[in-house]
Chain A
Amino acid sequence: MPSEGKPRLQILQGTLDLVVLRTLRSLGPRHAYGIAARLEQVSGDLLKLNQGTLYPALVRLEQQGRIKGKWDTTENGREAKYYAITKAGLKALGEETQRWRQLSGLMEKLLGEES
């Protein structure tokens, strides 16, 4: 759980979808909790994330056909909805990653000039 005092980042609008896709591609099918756990693990305490806020992104991506959900059981015998990335999702991931890199590169440059 995030500790007090440290400044925490709000996830940027629109980047959550990209992060979810990326996570699913590297880890394979995961349930919402799994995705959230992975995000926390990677970001450490830097990212403020209520796990519930993942849901809109999941609905959106599923409606866009980029991921597909399926009920299954975990290794502990609990039921959970597993999301897997689809072909369309892979394609979109490629495009979005490219775009994000360009954007962040540009930001980098602009901010570098400023200072």
Chain B
Amino acid sequence: MRHCRRLFAKLKNLFRRAHAERELNREVSAHLTLLEDEFQSRGMSPDEARIEARRAYGGVEQAKQLHREERSILWLEETVADLRFACRSLLKTPGFTTVAVLTLALGIGANIAIFTVVNAVLLRPLPFQHPERLVRVFDDLKGAGAKDVGMSEPEFEDLRDRSGVFDNISVIFPLSTALSGGNHPERIELLMTSADYFQLLGAQAELGRVYEPRDARPGFTESVVISDGLWKRQFGGDPHILGRRIRVDEDGYTIVGVMPPDFRHPGQTLAGDVELWAACGFAADPLPSPPVRAQRLLPGAMARLKPGLTIQQAQQHLDALAAQLAQTYPKEYPASSRWSLRLEPVEQTLTGSVRPTLVVLLAAVGLVLLMVAVNMASLLVARSSARIRELAIRQALGASRTRLVRQLLTESVLLSLIGGLAAMLVLALTKGSLLALMPSDLPRLSEVHFDARALSLACVLSLLTGILFGLTPSLHASSTDPNRDLKEGTRGGTSSLRQNRFRSALVATEIALSVVLLSGAGLLVHSFWNTLRANPGFDPNGLIVARIWIPFPNNPAMNRYRTAPAIAGFTREILRRVRALPGIEEAAMGGDNSVPLVTNTGNQTAFSLPDQSDSAVKQRSAESASVSPEFFQVLRTPLLRGRFFTEADTDKTKPVVIVNESLAKQYLLGRDVGRIMNFGGADWEIVGVIADLRDDGLDTKVAPRFYRPLYQGPANEMAIFLRGASDSSGLKQAVTGIVQAVDPDLPVYGVRTMREMMATSLARRRFSLSLMAVFGALALFLASIGIYGVMAYAVSQRAQEFSIRMALGAQPRDILLLSLRPGAILTLTGVALGLAAAQGATHLMASLLFGVSPSDPMTFVGVPIALASVALLACWIPAQRAVRIPPVAALRS
């Protein structure tokens, strides 16, 4: 109680300092008067009495100070006073304050923005219980150098029943599907899972229930779960949705649950979010029954590790299991294929591909903030040289050095806090449009939002930046010698040069930092240029793609497109009709995995070359696609050897394939056309070699790939390729009309120009490039302001010297060189330091580069030249000014 009361009184005095001080003065002088009276009454003269009174009282100032310390919280009171003073002095220089707050807001804001994304995508745990126990399971054929080859149902069962490391395990089988039973037929993303899926994630439905292990059947379970998005879009958010029958690829299902809006499948999807979950045992129609161990029809699995097991421990168990299975089934697992099981944290599978980009961006934005801090430090040094007399006077009046440092620091921290606040305000206001700038394929994008962590980082960053850029200049400024500085402030002298030398060091640092940033940006620009220039293997101009989903009913008898003739008939009919569309010159169709630049399921096909002596021990693998005879001509992909597919390549004739150049180079070694490839239990003759088509993205290495004729087998996904139109908007209606005239149940989706698809596939690269370019430009700007400031000051300090030189006969050219020299030395030092640092730093971004080495000569010559030119220009302007000063004016000033 007593303590509270005192604290309150002390706090009150913080803000009534003037009042308390008046009261104290009044009391002290009253006290002294009483003492004087006393001494006079003892017979002293008034003068003697006054002196005696002071002696008896003791040091007046000391007493006052004791009083102050007692009545209030001194350090806080001083801080309040410092803050007041800082506000006043910042308000007095609005130009400086505005520039400072703006640069700080930019630096801090950019950091918070990038951190918010990094936090959501990389740092925040996945929104499931114990996300660290969630893993993906992949099958690899190390012998064939093939990763993620898919999994067969018996293998899945072994994992579930015999591995002993999982609490739950579920197949993960993303699939396109045609949905009817809602408002209109639509192609949506279906995730086929085991019945354990939701238990594995620990997820609950928002409405109704999820399917459970007891719902497990050998084939599909009747009950399905839909996403919140699908519920709202197709069923108008109908609260009585539960029990509703829908048709998915011809099969009937019942909706038993709707997931919450923020539930996302934590893994790669085909194009968007999963909207329908269905449980399947994968051991009945449409899959082979009984399942075949050698047929890896399932793309992969997700599992929850038993508590207390590390991934490494679990991996050891799986290695043992794989070895054991290889012994039991030598025919299915030939030693040469080195079949193995691999675990990876779900989080890593989900976000691994963006990690390098985000880490580089975070590092870059951190550098930007560092540059802002250095720039601020340099500004503050300039400011404190203007205040050198003020500081000297304060010191002469008894302010200690720590007290001066504290006061200067208060100013810089106040500045950066205002900057941080401004940054947060701007970010909060522009959040929507900033999110729209992000590449839409960024995983976990929907989870990006400010949280307590970002907020506290904003505070910490502001404080740290303030201290960082404030501390050195204030230490520097406070190391004054009042005696010297009081004299010096009147006329420019040596200590100002001392200040300027310190600023020069800061500016050299700035230049070095901007070399690092600009080199990073330069490498990305060069990479982007390379991706744009890279030959995609097809001509994207005037090429339009429309995709069709061919339903895949559970009952094979229901599948109208099960046979090659059915597919061929359908394809020929569609092609006949679309060729009649106005403006369309040529058309072709492709089957599964035929659309370039679209995320393919990625499972590779293992094949052997029977004429190769090592075919029994050496496994080979490649991607595959099926295409109609006109495909390569329509895409304008050049044929290197052999022939294209023709209308005559059907299921009645000998199976043929066309391989890409990469496959020929990697596996066929000069002898290609006419050779036999064996896969899927059949021999296929290689009839042609085609140039590489960049299927997996413009900036990825082309994988070995072979093409089968569309007319020789079934397909699920099909695509129409149209040549001749430049705009996709009018075509969607027309193509949908044609397809549904042939078969009303087939959904058409993804009608886009090839140019649009290329832009999308480069979105992530474009995003990181734009950010790095902005950061680089910012760095260049800050560095040139910095060097300009130092040079302008140096020239103004030496105006008299230059005048004397001119008066003594120096030519303007001499003066120009004289004033340029320090700037040039500064720039070159900075550039040299920066180049050394950049060499190290850019190696960290090797994975983001395409066709460029981390020590790309173009970047590492271009950046220094560009930077040096800008820096020298910044020096040139003040140097020019130095030449133009009339000597008389300078001498008189």
Contact = CB atoms under 8 A, between A and B. Distances in A.
A59 B30 contact: no
B33 A78 contact: yes
A25 B33 CA distance: 25
A64 B2 contact: yes
A80 B58 CA distance: 19
B9 A63 contact: yes
B5 A64 contact: yes
22 contacts: A1-B56, A31-B31, A33-B35, A50-B56, A50-B63, A51-B56, A52-B28, A52-B58, A52-B59, A52-B60, A55-B24, A55-B66, A55-B67, A56-B66, A56-B69, A56-B70, A63-B71, A64-B2, A64-B5, A79-B26, A79-B30, A80-B31
Contacts of A65: 2, 5
B57 interface: yes
B33 A51 contact: no
A60 B70 contact: yes
A80 B59 contact: no
A52 B5 CA distance: 25
A52 B62 contact: yes
A22 interface: no
A18 interface: no
B164 to A, nearest CB: 71
B37 interface: yes
Given A63-B9, A63-B10, 18 more contacts: A1-B56, A31-B31, A31-B34, A33-B35, A33-B38, A37-B38, A50-B57, A53-B58, A53-B63, A56-B70, A59-B67, A60-B6, A63-B5, A64-B6, A65-B2, A76-B37, A79-B26, A81-B30
A51 B57 contact: yes
Contacts of B31: 31-33, 51, 80
B871 to A, nearest CB: 59
A23 to B, nearest CB: 16
Contact of B27 (A1, A32, A53, A63): A32
Contacts of B30: 31, 78-81
A74 interface: yes
Question: Interface size bucket, B side?
Answer: 20 to 34
A56 B67 CA distance: 5
Nearest to B36: A78
Contacts of A80: 30-31, 34
Nearest to B52: A1
A12 B167 CA distance: 72
A31 B35 CA distance: 12
A59 B71 contact: yes
Nearest to B55: A1
A37 to B, nearest CB: 8
Interface in B159-185: none
A8 to B, nearest CB: 14
B48 to A, nearest CB: 13
Interface string A32-50: 1100010000000000001
Interface string A51-84: 1110110011001110000000010101111000
Nearest to A50: B58
B67 A50 contact: no
Contacts of B35: 33, 51
Interface string A73-106: 0101011110000000000000000000000000
Contacts of A55: 24, 27, 63-64, 66-67, 70
Max chain A Cβ within 10 angstroms of own Cβ: one of B26, B38, B66: B66
A52 B60 CA distance: 7
A52 B57 CA distance: 5
Contacts of A78: 30, 33-34, 37
Contacts of A74: 34
Per CB-CB distance, the 6 closest pairs between chain A and chain B, nearest first, are A50-B58, A52-B63, A56-B70, A63-B9, A33-B34, A52-B58
A56 to B, nearest CB: 4
Nearest to A37: B38
A64 B58 CA distance: 26
A65 B1 CA distance: 11
A49 to B, nearest CB: 9
Contacts of B59: 50, 52
Contacts of B2: 64-65
A63 B67 CA distance: 12
A5 B478 CA distance: 45
Contacts of B10: 63
B513 to A, nearest CB: 52
Nearest to B3: A64
Interface string B15-49: 00000000010111011011101100000000000
Contacts of A79: 26, 30
Contacts of B34: 31, 33, 74, 78, 80
Contacts of A76: 37
